[in-house]
A = this chain, B = another copy of it.
Amino acid sequence: MPAESERTEMLDSETKAVETPEDHADELRLWLRLLTCTTLIEGEVRGRLRQRFDVTLPRFDLMAQLDKAPDGMTLSDVSKRMMVSNGNVTGLVERLVESGHLDRRTSETDRRVQVIRLTKLGRAEFRKMAAEHETWIADLFAELSPKDVRELMRLLAKTKASAQKSAARRRP
């Protein structure tokens, strides 16, 4: 426990629990700052992808998932990985098949399942974009020291675990 109290109005921990509403302002500020950072970076990446490659961020993200899976993925896999709804993936895939970046085929062993892969074109274009994308990210985080990066990684891992537990508490 830290020496300094973060709740200055609290004089006696016995009287706290029931009566005084807890002070959650710090967590709220933290959440807003987290959201700001993400929005800022995401907007920047989105803009650069559009300007340099005329591609949208969701398309890029989907292709990134597939680049890591040479044997293809099912739509459900993609949807879980990207943390978006099923219907969303259906539409995205439709457009990427249309533009020749993706190949979609029904699984031979389970006719419910659609397996999607990058086409040769899709893979080539993705690799080109990904190389540049990586330099943008490095530039956006340029002022963080290697130690900062490690520390942020650690704290965000803890945050993710905390949020997942909270979500599981509500939806068991």
Identify the A interface with B (CB < 8 A).
2, 6, 22, 24-31, 33-44, 48, 83, 134-149, 151-153, 155-167, 169-170
How many angstroms from the CA of A95 to the CA of B134 in the assembled complex? 39
Query: How many Å from the CB of A136 to the closest CB on chain B?
Result: 8
B30 pairs with A149, CB closer than 8 A? yes
Most buried by B among A30, A37, A153, A161: A37
Known: A137-B24, A138-B24. A143 touches B158 (CB 8 A): yes
- Would A143 and B167 be within 8 Å (CB), given that A151-B151, A152-B30, A156-B37 are in contact? no
Q: In the A-B complex, list the 10 residue pairs whose CB atoms are closest, starting with the nearest.
A: A143-B162, A24-B138, A38-B38, A27-B141, A140-B166, A33-B156, A140-B163, A24-B134, A6-B146, A139-B166
